[in-house]
Structure 1
Amino acid sequence: MRVLVTGGAGFIGSHYVRQAVGGAYPTLADAEVVVLDKLTYAGNRANLDPVAGSDRLRFVEGDICDPEAVRAVMAGVDLVVHFAAESHVDRSIMGAADFVITNVVGTQVLLQAAVDAGVAKFVHVSTDEVYGSIEQGSWPETHPLEPNSPYSASKASSDLLARAFYRTHGLPVCVTRCSNNYGPYQFPEKVIPLFTTNLVDGKKIPLYGDGLNVRDWLHVDDHCHGIQLVADGGRPGEVYNIGGGTELTNRELTTLLLQATGRDESAIEPVEDRKAHDRRYSVDITKISTELGYAPRVPFADGLAETVKWYQDNRDWWEPLKQRAALGG
């Protein structure tokens, strides 16, 4: 069996690859794993170091928007797990073009190549942000798509392309929509690694607006476990929400990070709220739980403590990234 993982040097993709090559997914026990990654600012070969010596892993540096490169790596592939994306909302607000090109055009190139190659399963990894914002309750997969940022609009567009390739060409596509991920190896522009690394360095942490925006937190290992359940047993043409079950306001999350790093509230620097900042996300995971037996397995308190410790212990991984990207407040 051959698996193509796009964006496999990024945060979530590399976790999936490490788990797949490391034997965490029985159906992939003997699979060859091919990683296609452009190595943009958020892609890092070092994320694959723990499994770099495996003869089951092949790394290809390339762009999902390049039809020839995609066609070459798609040959003989049985399963595609498509993580590659521009994903940071703030960057999409500053400039949407890269998000449209990578997330929409890149997904179209992959879908077409998968049709041409006769791929048996294609899992398109998306986000709960395509639903918009919800005041109460949780979104089922049938909720209308109402994205509010250029990032989420580009992901919603790619979701619709995936559906269209299933309906038009019969490509066995499943779409997964996850809540906010956290864990080791996450690029330090995202809130948990940014705040953690700032706090351990004695710096301020920028808290948007009133800090009362609510997010559901999902450990990256639970997310990848859910993705593999969909890869193994998800019904073609269907969408599956993957959530973590821990809803926190940004201020509550900030308080936990302050406690974990021994800092106090004087470290908080209130900043002007993000444009069109969605107030609350919450996904209903009944479908994936009922059909595929998914349940989050990492308690948030344990996962957060382990994540903070990882950043404390791995300065050599994140410090150069922050310096190059001029992050850190």
Structure 2
Amino acid sequence: MRIDKQAKSMYSRVGYYLELAYKVRHFVKSYQKEFDVIYVTSPNIFLPWATFFFQKRVKSVTKVLEIRDLWPDSVKDIEKLPVDTFWPILKYLEKHMYKKADKVVINNEGFRDHITEMTPKKPVFFLPNAFNNDEVAFESPGSDFQVMYTGNIGHAQSYDQLVEVAEMLEKEKITFNIIAYGANAPEFKAYVDKENFSFINIYGEKTRDECLYLIRQHNVQLSLLKETDVFLNVLPGKVIDGIGSGVPVVTNLGGFTNALINDNEVGIAVEKGSSSEIVDAIKQIRDDKKMENKFRENAKELLNEKFLWENNIKSLTSFIQNK
């Protein structure tokens, strides 16, 4: 790719996606007859467009669309692009995209009603993020209570709330470690360096194995998204990483993820929780070792039940092959 995916400018990033879409469209057009299944994933919406739109229909090829984010609603909630003018067109493209797909896979049950409303008879399958068997490991944390935040600090994440939580955890003298990347990561790092915090630590990008190893050393995995109906009803990978590592999760999410965490008692989810409510939830786990241990044991059970790839791939394969 010639254009930088992580560019600060939203328009530069759109340019990156357009370049990628052009190359994917050319590949699909040239080689789709050689495959039985084409599986395309979002939230990079340009890839489904390139795969489905203006492509000659090949009956022998099953086209599967995986939805990891509701679009264009999520783009609107980012508030970085002027989508209101084109909203009717974008919603038409969304509906057309679902219709073009033969089958739809979702990583969040909260998406099912939205999709079936647009395409009532479309087969929809729930496939959450998952752990491979060789990624599964559990460790007891050290005596120093620690909170971990891993992943993107971009336009969908609640940057201001992350700053507030960091300030509060510093005052509480709770160690807060962040592995950060994304559009707002440099700004967040500069802020932490400027404030010269003693309990807040920023790390650069790491491999998945390195991230999982570090998560297991912590007492809480934190996940924060912007307080919009779209973002608060997603199932972030960092939530699954916490559950899969046997680490209690604290989040401001609602919907399916909120119920998943609270009903299975693997952490504390406070829908649209304020910074103080999030920190209070962290302190609640810090001050109640029995609660933390219960969350850890429940997370191990939930992992085996829902989030092992070796189990889930069998169900996915069956879904794709079923005519």
State TM-score, norm by structure 2: 0.35
Structure of greater relative contact order (alpha carbons < 8 Å, 6+ residues apart)? 1
Q: Which has the larger radius of gyration?
A: 2
- Higher helix residue share: 2
